[in-house]
């Protein structure tokens, strides 16, 4: 490239001089590719561990099969029960307080995915299950996630407090759906 510039600069023709000093250009399709990679989409946060897990950028987290393409499921890293799974939307949503009435279906889909995960792991006593969300400021990760816990009767003392139904810090999925409907 340096030799080309030197060769071009020795020419007296102004077109050669302009070509020698011009910056390289890229095609519009290449520009679109660069633009698509540059900024993060609004529904993704690279600093959010759950966004990275949903994007399969966290190799230490094994994703469980989930029939809903908008959700991911995986085991909680600090299980409070023999079956403790998290159901997480791929789209970044801060927490349960950020949800609107038109997102009731999302919560229902998360519950359905949670039930499916339990069934796939041979747990079918749904009377002994707790599914819910931590309420801010009691969220450890600021990305909406449904806790699926079973069997509830095997929760330890501390876990019974942390996952206490419809407390100031933890609400069930059913309670959240009712709140969103009103």
* Residue 39 CA from chain centroid, whole number: 17
Q: Half-sphere exposure of 148 toward its Cβ, with a 13 Å CA cutoff?
A: 25
| Cα distances (angstroms) measured from residue 4 to each of 13, 14, 17, 167 | 15, 15, 11, 73
Per DSSP, the residues of 118-154 read: HHHTT---GGG-EEEEEPTTS-SSSS--EEEEE-GGG
Q: Does residue 137 have a cis peptide bond before it, meaning omega lies within 30 degrees of 0?
A: yes
Q: Are 74 and 61 in contact (CB under 8 A)?
A: yes
Catalytic residue among 92, 143, 145, 147: 145
For residue 146, the cross-strand partners are: 87
Active site residue 145: yes
Q: Name every residue whose Cβ is closer than 8 Å to that of residue 48 and which is 6 or more positions away in sequence.
A: 92, 141, 142, 143
- List the catalytic residues: 145
């Amino acid at each position: 490239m340096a030799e080309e510039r030197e060769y071009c600069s020795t020419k007296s023709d102004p077109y050669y001089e302009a070509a020698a000093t011009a910056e390289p250009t890229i095609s519009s399709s290449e520009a679109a590719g660069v633009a698509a990679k540059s900024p993060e989409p609004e529904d993704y946060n690279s600093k959010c561990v759950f966004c990275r897990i949903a994007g399969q950028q966290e190799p230490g987290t094994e994703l469980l099969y989930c029939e809903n393409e908008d959700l991911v499921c995986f085991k909680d890293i600090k299980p409070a029960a023999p079956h403790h799974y998290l159901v997480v939307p791929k789209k970044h949503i801060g927490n349960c307080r950020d949800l609107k009435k038109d997102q009731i279906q999302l919560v229902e889909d998360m519950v359905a995915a949670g039930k499916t995960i339990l069934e796939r792991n041979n747990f079918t006593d749904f009377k002994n299950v707790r599914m819910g969300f931590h309420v801010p400021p009691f969220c450890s990760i600021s990305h909406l996630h449904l806790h699926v816990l079973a069997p509830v009767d095997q929760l330890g003392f501390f876990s019974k407090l942390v996952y206490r139904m419809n407390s100031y810090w933890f609400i069930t999925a059913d309670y959240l759906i009712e709140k969103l409907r009103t």
